[in-house]
Structure 1
């Protein structure tokens, strides 16, 4: 899986003091930027596009969004994708990660009707990328699906994996000849947590400890079905790569000698979707199966609330990824709770999650309007947590190929975003250190290219390298200071510390 020679993995370090240190990226290391369909495309009802779960949710529940906004237009990348690709080209990126919209390609939700206008749009985007020599990383599913499927139960419906397989086959039939990197699903653990545990994303049903588990159970099946479709029907001819992305936090025990709590937190968050695919044994992590079973019994359930894979499904899911797509933003402090209060634990792992007060907050409060989720989970700058996660992935899963498919920070400082530059520098430094330590990391993707619609945070969280004026009908894009900094990194392939 594209293993480079050890000599190519070595980071060059020059200079004799901290001010003059320069880290060099290894040959073949990809640097790019990312977006997702619902967050940037707009054009929510253009041509024959169907209504998505997010269209329906924000139109009927504007109060659930921090600023009451929606993504009906957002950055209008559907009509401005040529401009966006020119921005990518000027930045000098190697690749662009974007997602395709299920409700745009299959407006009725099923593969019996495929939208020709949607195919034209995505082929046009790929044409622009190809003309600029930019590699497409296509995410098949980034949280948006047809509302008709949501009304049929969405990811709690056991038919959803089959519907996803049909959708994925349409993607491969139309784009596999020109796309060499596919991501099946984005952040299974976060999607299912936000939709069914925290109830802040559609369908916003609070089924903590049941719905979230069933959701991810079906998403793992969907991923495996799509992988086998590609493997059996398309790989021989097109020889592409198919992976999956997971968001992982770094975890630091409040008690420095309690490493077991750090690992427990990892398994319940990152291991939950990753162990079934990347481990030698497959299935959910043993500690997770044991903990959920014990707590379920204490709560009076006859069986564990964690769904059980058949031996056939364990085998079908195991090994179904050519790379580990890692999304990383921040870290948490973990503390073990007393086992005597197992029934009243806030979660099945029995851990308390906090932030270290010494960690720097990346985004200053703007008019006191901030998403509590963004504040709690994103806006602490902890680069050392990324190094911890990368080494844990190396140790647990036999050092798989890793592409960092998202990493970024929201900033309220406008176009002079020095905190974003500091975030980039510190995290890229940790990545290169991990490469030098033997981690098989092949690429880095910044989230995001543009300021865009950030889910329940609306437009209050700005992750973009490019500032977008959402009050301007033209959605004028203006480069922030970080664009010039990152452009220099990409052109020189060097990180100046």
Structure 2
């Protein structure tokens, strides 16, 4: 049973998906290749060399999926638009009308079934052409290309879509895609590439928000936000100042990296200090963490009508100084170590331990740090254990119940 029994009237219940993970039809009806199509087609990049070529065949099963949503009695559905499905090369000169029709039909079908669409403009599937030609999010030109794409979406779908997310989990785009190379496009650019990609993403988000605010808001009356994913960092020893400081750094290097510029106008001070210090140790003349001009700070601050939050797990955090390395890394910049409690229930994915109490602490941190913004929980869930031969419903129920209960509290 839940802590208070029920959620207040008007609470929004929803589920979510992303284009690459569900649609399939990766090269059908005029869709261009994305960086994830190309990345997963290379052997050894993904577990068991799985691809999203078919996904869940969502491209062909929209009506069936929406009926399932109706049976679940959810009133909101978050999905992402595939940029290369409607702009195969990423530029506005080449549009794919079949892709635009697909999303129009999806939105209309949702509304016919009294399900409100929440749309993410970017859930990682950059058009491959923009990666090959310009270097993707390493290149400042992405700001204008993405803004063109966003404005096309506002034009085509904004009369019915009133909740827009610019980027879903940009932390993973920057760090995993351009830092460690574990995600598409697979570039191992260390502590320079991740920060540069994030810098361009933040400026892109702000430009899109201003575009909507100046051109579309008065006509469409919608909202534009961003969805940030962050674990909670709990000090291993709550009585240790160094562990408390390390836990604070953990949150600032994850959530604050993107939230601070949007809500406060600049990167977290602790990021500037630590990355600047590590850069100086490398003999660099300037910090690897880029800077915003005074004008950019003012332009970026306040550019979110709501904050989407993805949250899955928690870590204990302690101070641990990283040895000096000539090769920089986001992970060595923040001088900390992460631990898990062996008593925490373990999932299928080794990183995704069930720690419900961390969610409430994260939400309270956001409330205190960023002025109690309107929050949509955009991502939460758990992977099943490999030994399950069928859906692990009991495991999922316990996980979701615990996390939902913390929201209720």
Structure-1-length-normalised TM-score:
0.78
Tell me, what secondary structure is at the counterpart of 1:244? strand
Alignment of 1:47-446 (within 5 A): 47-59=29-41, 61-151=42-132, 152-257=134-239, 258-279=243-264, 282-338=265-321, 341=323, 343=325, 346-363=331-348, 374-376=349-351, 379-412=352-385, 413=388, 414-433=390-409
Residue 325 of structure 1 deviates from its aligned partner by 0.4
2: CA distance, partners of 1:81 / 1:338: 50
- Give 1:260 deviation, angstroms: 1.8
Q: What is the alpha-carbon root mean square deviation over aligned residues?
A: 1.5
1:27 positional shift? 2.0
CA distance 1:47–1:21, shift in 2 (3 Å) = closer
Cα offset for 1:108?
A: 2.0
Total equivalences in the alignment: 399
TM-score of the two chains, using structure 2 as the length reference: 0.95
For the residue of structure 2 that corresponds to 1:177, the secondary structure is coil
Where do 5+ consecutive residues of structure 2 fail to align? Answer: none
- Per-residue deviation, 1:96: 0.3
Query: Is the partner of 1:39 in helix, strand or coil?
Result: helix
The whole-number CA distance in structure 1 between the counterparts of 2:253 and 2:170 is 13
Structure with more contact order per residue of length (Cα contacts < 8 Å, sep ≥ 6): 1
Does the 8 Å CA contact 1:292/1:306 hold for their aligned counterparts?
yes
Indicate conservation of the 8 Å contact 1:342/1:350, yes or no.
no
5+ long unaligned stretches in structure 1: 1-18, 364-373, 434-497
Q: Matched residue of 1:375: which SS?
A: coil
Deviations 1:246-268 (A, max 9, x none): 11101111222232221111101
Distance in structure 2 (CA, Å) of the matches to 1:69 and 1:132:
33
4+ long deviations beyond 3 Å: 19-22, 341-346
CA distance in 2, matches of 1:409, 1:351: 26
